[in-house]
Amino acid sequence: MINPAYQPPELLHSLNKVQVNALVLGSDSYYDKVKQLIPDLGSYTDYAIRCAHAPSLKLLILISERKLRGVLRLQDVLSKSTPESLDRVRQVQQRIQPDDGCVILFTSGTTGHPKGALLSHHNIVNNALSIGRRLLLFSQPHRWCLCTNFCHASATSVSLVTCLCYGAALVIPDSLFQAKAILQTVQKERCTMMVASPSLYVDMLDAMRDHSLKPDSLIIAAIGSAPVPQQLVHDIVESFAVQRIYAMYGMTETSPLIFQSLASDAVQQAAATVGVVTDHMEAKVVDPEGRMVPMGTPGELWVRGYAIMLGYWGEEEKTKGIITPDGWLKTGDQFVLQEGGYGRVVGRLKDIIIRDNTNIFPIEIEEFFITHPDVMEAQAFGVPDPRLGEEMCVCIRQRACTALSEQQLREFCRGKLADFKTPRYFSFLPEFPRTATGKVDKLWLKKSVMQELDVSGQYLAMQ
């Protein structure tokens, strides 16, 4: 599953990373993006894709009524089914094992390029069963409002497969997942639950006030994927009048949820923690040497169990770097396990920027800006944001006798970086501060930018 926000260079990397044979386009708006990779696509007289940049790509399938050159419509593909082809599908189904790979979801990694996390049927189905059990979906019929793209594990495992397992209706408001449209859908379809990021809840609360929308059918609200201000949890409960609110924590590599609130938790418990470890999973917090620390002591969270991915597609060494020989996955998050079993995220050991529900690795952004002819060095990092969790800032050291502007750099990003990877803030410095070993002192840069932007108060309020 490929993020529709990816620009052509990011799309090309993803296609080649997993050697995609067929690409399904969710709408004809993606046709122009693909044409940038295949310039002569508009002159095709057949459907056999010939792309020198992505040699494995053989077929494009479009979910649309329009007929476009070089693309098969999904309805045309379905109409070509025969009894013989259906028999072949059934034969393949009989050979599928629970531990076989099921889906590849892209996630940022230490190289700065997206890595393909390979998840199994066993991973996804059992995580969905566990999620639904915590949500008490077996107790009554539910209508689940989807709030994110299917390229995210929160939509695939948490929403889609969970609804299939428990017979809940999955309601898809639109392809853009805008706050007003989601609220209108909840009202019209009488949705009883939703899972959304903190930033989307903030937008929905604003839309409720601006458009006099007051959904009254929600029973359950769940929140996760980014740092959650405690006040926001209380605002959600009050404004939506939900009966239960759940905190969630996980990552793509864990299918994804590994911590979740209990149905009996008070609102304050959901606001202050990410719940308790998912059923049938193990969790421990360790020091830098991998030794467990006492309850209540910060350390790195490691998890083990059925939900751990099969590995990164074609990345054996990177898989070994995150999963130990005895099966523990290193989350890279600084975590506290409390005596009662509840967990709390207190920081991140790895230098990932989490903007909304999307991970961005700084090195990818830094390497991109260095390709600009007037940029000598670039340093990227996240700064706290009350709505999105974090926004990105890039510090630029430009070449002598040049006069780069923020607008020029934004134009440089256009068509090359997805919108969510384009920095919110830029800072221009003649020199970067350095440590005693000669490395750029990124901590000093971050503190300096936070003071300049006056975001330190926002950060403290979120902790």
Determine whether domain 353-462 maps to CATH 3.30.1360.20: no
Q: Residue 200's pLDDT is what?
A: 87
Output phi, psi for 334, to 5 deg: -80, 130
Q: Distance between CA 277 and CA 248 in Å, rounded? A: 10
Tell me the CATH number of domain 101-348, given options 3.40.50.1580, 1.20.140.10, 3.40.50.2000, 3.40.50.12780: 3.40.50.12780
Burial 22-42 (b: 16+ CB within 10 A, else e): ebebeebebbeebbebbeebe
Angle at 438 between CA 437 and CA 443, to 5 degrees: 90
Q: Residue 111's pLDDT is what?
A: 44
Query: Do residues 265 and 248 touch, judged by C-beta distance below 8 A?
Result: no
What 3-state DSSP class applies to 206?
helix
Extents of the domains making up the chain: 8-95, 101-348, 353-462
pLDDT beneath 70, residues of the chain = 108-112, 347-348, 350, 435-439, 455-463
Chain-centre distance for alpha carbon 353: 11
pTM of the model: 0.82
Q: Residue 108's pLDDT is what?
A: 62
